[in-house]
Amino acid sequence: MRRNTSITLLSVGHACVDVYQGAVASLIPFLVAHRGYGYAAASGVVLAASLLSSVAQPFFGALTDRRAVPWLLPASTLLAGVGIALSGLGGTYALTLVCVALSGIGVAAYHPESARIARQAARGAHSAMGWFSLGGNVGFALAPLLVAAVVGTGGLRWTPVLVLPALVGTGLCLVVLRTPGRRPSGRAGAAPTGPGDDRASFVKLSLAVMCRSVVFIGLSTFLSLYAEQRLGGSTAAGTAALFLLYLGGAAGSLLGGALAERWDRVTVCRWSYLVSVVAVAGVVVVPGPALYGCIALTSAGLYVPFSLQVTLGQDYLPSRVGTAGGITLGLAVSVGGLASPLIGRLADATSLRTALASLVLMPVLSWLLLRTMPEPAAPRPPAEVPLPTAEMGQPSPEGGEQKDDMRPDSPTPWR
């Protein structure tokens, strides 16, 4: 497949997975209404989805550094969907937590391998990685609409219908893995062409992404309830606010890739976090429908750095691209869910507005961390070789036997 086709299919598949990250937060108002959960209990559901995901992401990243595991893409997509599909059927709180935790593991398994394959298919283009990230953002954006349409119509017993995106995503993953095409050669564990690891900068970047995650997941968890309070108690107002938070990320990802083609990635990320400080403060203090404008600006500010941070992590840690992707696209993103119970407890003790006001500090910390980070030198693009199919040994388009370019003895300048 040509690069654009590969990125398009990977982007749509990314959307089919990340819809389940957005679905967890989208289910919160229904769990509160139907099961009487308080803020702390509701945030515990988000924690369950994030906790195992956070722990599992580095493991899956290290696994992809050792060997290619393309089968993880369809398997993890299906697991993410099945977990959410079953979450509404568990009558007990503990069973609900187990179901969303299984979905979180599926999300964790998907991202390191998909980020590695997408970076290779993109051949180093920031705009192409922006399109890949766009898919995840679209999935997030569609989640509240999908959950509202399904659960709002039939109640929590209809959550099995939510498995449909996973079935579509699984099919797309199989198409990508079975269709011959062209992408950079690659195997896990080889060193790229370029400078060595900059672990200090990678740690700073990971901390900055964690701070971003606390803001984003904190808003994702409580923004729907907050908008209902601020705008007259309408469920539609909460759904619209959450949809806008996720949809603005789609524009932010594309804008981030375009800006990085003109300025360096660190500079773009730094300015984006400054914008986020003002925008998050606006969400807390701006009255009336203007709240939606602040939500859109917050979303763009938090998502402009998203795909750029993934490639920055890979360039800071070029000898462990899978681990870098697992942390910047997975662990550091999911870890925000670990802070959500604290935000929930603060909301129970004070008010939801006070709890959300505490989030303003997070993009400030991200900005301070980025001030001390250099722009890494990008690795040189490798030569193209045929994309291996899911079943090794099938005939290649040029004739003869298609070989696995991810074998341990296959050199690559990317890994």
| Predicted local confidence at residue 364, as pLDDT | 92
| Predicted local confidence at residue 402, as pLDDT | 42
Whether 206 maps to a domain, the answer reads: yes
Least confident segment among 187-196, 310-319, 343-352, 360-369? 187-196
Whether 414 maps to a domain, the answer reads: no
| Predicted local confidence at residue 77, as pLDDT | 92
- Residues with Cβ within 8 Å of 409's Cβ and at least 6 positions away in sequence, in order, are none
Q: Which helix (H) or strand (E) holds 42?
A: helix 39-66
Whether 411 maps to a domain, the answer reads: no
Overall number of domains in the chain: 1
Instruction: Confirm if 77 and 166 have CB atoms less than 8 A apart.
Output: yes
Whether 409 maps to a domain, the answer reads: no
Q: Taking the mean position of all CA atoms in its chain, how far away is CA 319?
A: 22
pLDDT above 50 (res 389): no
In which band, very low, low, confident or very high, does the pLDDT at 391 lie, cut at 50, 70 and 90?
very low
When the pLDDT of each residue in the chain is averaged and rounded to a whole number, the result is 77
Phi, psi of 121 (to 5 degrees): -65, -35
Whether 412 maps to a domain, the answer reads: no
**Two tokens, residue 110:** 């998907």
* pLDDT over 90 percentage in the chain: 9
| Predicted local confidence at residue 379, as pLDDT | 56
Task: Point out which residues pair with 338 in neighbouring strands.
Answer: none
| Predicted local confidence at residue 378, as pLDDT | 57
| Predicted local confidence at residue 166, as pLDDT | 93
Find the mean pLDDT for residues 262-269.
86
pLDDT above 90 (res 87): no
Whether 398 maps to a domain, the answer reads: no
**Two tokens, residue 78:** 């299906």
Query: Could you tell me which residue, 373 or 247, shows the higher pLDDT?
Result: 373
| Predicted local confidence at residue 334, as pLDDT | 66
pTM for the full predicted model: 0.62
pLDDT above 80 (res 159): yes
Whether 310 maps to a domain, the answer reads: yes
What are the CA-CA distances from residue 259 to residues 148, 254, 307 (Å)? 34, 9, 12
| Predicted local confidence at residue 164, as pLDDT | 94
Q: Say whether 395 sits in a helix, a strand or coil.
A: strand
Q: What is the pLDDT of residues 393-403, one digit of tens each?
A: 344 444 444 44
Whether 173 maps to a domain, the answer reads: yes
Least confident segment among 131-135, 234-238, 332-336? 332-336
pLDDT above 70 (res 276): yes
Domain containing 81 — which CATH number?
1.20.1250.20
Query: Could you tell me the residue range of the domain that residue 360 belongs to?
Result: 3-370
Q: What is the pLDDT of residues 292-327, one digit of tens each?
A: 888 988 988 888 887 788 788 878 888 777 677 667
Phi, psi of 399 (to 5 degrees): 100, 160
Alpha carbon distance 366, 359 (integer Å): 12
Q: Is 94 exposed, middle or buried (0-12, 13-18, 19+ CB in 10 A)?
A: exposed
**Two tokens, residue 80:** 């993410």
| Predicted local confidence at residue 352, as pLDDT | 85
